[in-house]
Structure formats: C-alpha cells, structure tokens
Amino acid sequence: MNHAGDMIDPFGRAITYLRVSVTDRCDFRCVYCMAEDMHFLPKRDLLSLEELERLCAVFIEKGVRRLRLTGGEPLVRKNIMYLVRQLSRHLETGALDELTLTTNGSQLARFATELADCGVKRINVSLDTLDPEKFRAITRWGVFDKVMHGIEAAQTAGLKIKINTVALKGFNEDEIPEMLRWAHGRGMDMTVIETMPMGEIDADRTDQYLPLSELRARLEQRFTLTDIPYKTGGPARYVEVTETGGRLGFITPLTHNFCESCNRVRLTCTGTLYMCLGQEDAADLRAPLRSSEGNELVSNAIDEAIGRKPKGHDFVIDRTTKRPAVSRHMSVTGG
C-alpha cells in the first residue's frame, strides 16, 4: 500500500533506497575509478553534515527505507560519525530499515565499533585482489594490511561484510576463485562487478572489460552455482556456491542491465540528485535546501526529479571513441 509521501517513478517503481555520497575524496586512487591527479571539489561546494542529514530526513519521510553512505571513501569525511549517529535515530524510530555503507576498508579499524553501536549491521568492502603488491598497484596508494586489519575489526564488532570485487581482464580474473574461497571461508558474501564506463581515467576500459557471463562460465567449471532469489536491495543477482556454502552476487550493468527493478536514486555531497547512475540527468537539491528553513521546496524538487527518472541507463563500452559513457567519475556518485 502506498503512503501519501511515497516516491513512485513514471514506470511504477517505488523509490525506497537512497545512496548518499558524503565526499568525492578518497585515500586510494583505484585505476578504474580515478585519475591519479584527481581534482576534488572545493570544500565550499560541499553540503555540511547537517545539510546532508536534513536532506536524508526528507527522503526518509518520502518513503526511503534503506540508506547507504558512499564516497569517494565515506570514512575520510571529517566528523562522519556525527552524520551516522544522527541518521541512526531513524533506525530507532523504525522509519528506516537499514543504514549501511560502502568502504575501501582503510579506516575500518578506527570506526567499526562505533558503526556497530549506531545500528549499522552490514557493510560492503571494496577489494579487488588478495595480493599485496597487486593491491598497491591497483589502488596506487592503498596499504593491504591496513584493509585486512579493518575487515578483522569489523567482524569483531559484529558487522556482516560483503566483499565487492571489480572483475578486470588480465588483472584479477584468475584470482577470483581464490578470493571466493577466502571470503566464504570467513563468513563473508562476495559480489563481482563489471567495470563501469564512468569518468576519464588513465587507462583504456576496453582492455579492462570482462563480461561476467564469461567469468561465470569459468567459475562453473570449478564450482556448482545455483541461482537463488536472495536480495539486499541493490542490483546484484545471487547464486549459492555449493562447495563453499556462501553467496556470490553478479552486478552486470553492461551484459545484462538491472533497470527494470531499480528502486534507488543517488545524492552527491554537493546536493545533486542523480536519478540513474548511467545517465547525466540530475536535479539540484542544494538551492531549494538553502533557500528555505522548511522542507517544502526541497520536497517538491525531489518529486519533480523522481517524475523524470529514466527507464534505464545507457552504459556501453565505447570501442570507437574509447570515451566513457558518463563523464563524471564514479567517486562523484558513489557507485
């Protein structure tokens, strides 16, 4: 049953999931996500944590039940735990079903216990290799041991972890079976993701692209994969791996898009709302937020934006121009 405040897009999909990029900054420079000499937004353009909380509260009033904090790296945003604590109040009232985040794991040793105390039950950790040297190469700045300690700290704090791995041709395709056994052996789910054509980077994405249909066929030579209806609110399709007893998800924006069931929108740290990760169309929520003490203007701006949410994205690996399908970097919208 729809509540009066529910957000329904033109295709009848209820928008119940909000991803909030709290910063475009990161302490890594992953080669498929960023250029090494990234120019980040000036701090004055960013919404304050109080403004981000106010915007999130409006979305929750309008029917959002799941909220994920992303970045860049969300845990490098100064005083980020203030925002987590404020948002956790919506868990206590029952207005929000889940508060979670996606992280590179570098800051987890510092924050895991506090996250759990705020009612965060599960997190996603982005990790593309178990080889420390390859890890350094792909993140440019990351320290593998620090991430491992962060994962241990999070599990000790009682957080459920899902490992997110971007499948990259010629880099980690042969390592994925080992990563699967490692994750499942530690009670963690794993999801593999096709590289997404977003933002100018220093590499050629046509060289990186590995269709997950191909990866799945290879995995099925070693493992028994059974499709299951398990859902976490995101776009992954899951299988159960008989040999490990764990779950493996596939996120396939290119070989098989997942738009028909899309229930999410994305808010950036500047107050820009993207109705689709793979489209440039957006709405400015910062101006209506700052021009009024009340929330009516921003609520109307959200309604107008949801009213033009597209049916699907236009992701394609462009082999002719080698240019990204979407010009903004993944770190702007938070994946």
> ω into residue 234 within 30 of 0, thus cis?
no
269 labeled part of a ligand binding site: no
Both structure tokens of 171: 């880099």
How far is residue 28's CA from residue 40's CA, in Å, rounded to a whole number? 13
Residue type, 102: T
265 labeled part of a ligand binding site: yes
230 labeled part of a ligand binding site: no
319 labeled part of a ligand binding site: no
Q: What is the DSSP string of 255-299?
A: TS--GGG--EEEE-TTSEEES-TT---EEE-HHHHHT-SSSHHHH
Both structure tokens of 219: 């995995």
196 labeled part of a ligand binding site: yes
20 labeled part of a ligand binding site: no
How far is residue 157's CA from residue 323's CA, in Å, rounded to a whole number? 42
286 labeled part of a ligand binding site: no
231 labeled part of a ligand binding site: no
Residue 81 near residue 69 (C-beta atoms within 8 A): no
| b/e code 18-32 from CB counts within 10 Å (16+ = b) | bbbbbbbbbbbbbbb
102 labeled part of a ligand binding site: yes
266 labeled part of a ligand binding site: yes
Hunting for tokens 């997942």 — which residue is that?
258
How far is residue 240's CA from residue 7's CA, in Å, rounded to a whole number? 33
Q: What number of H helices and E strands is found in the chain?
A: 11, 12
239 labeled part of a ligand binding site: no
**Strand ordering across the sheet containing 189-194:** 225-228, 237-241, 246-251, 189-194, 160-167, 122-126, 98-103, 66-70, 17-21, 264-267, 272-274, 282-284
Per the annotation, binding residues for S-adenosyl-L-methionine are 32, 72, 126, 196
* Residue set of the binding site for GTP: 19, 68, 102, 162, 264-266
Binding-site residue positions: 19, 26, 30, 32-33, 68, 72, 102, 126, 162, 196, 259, 262, 264-266, 276
Residue ranges for the known binding site for [4Fe-4S] cluster are 26, 30, 33, 259, 262, 276
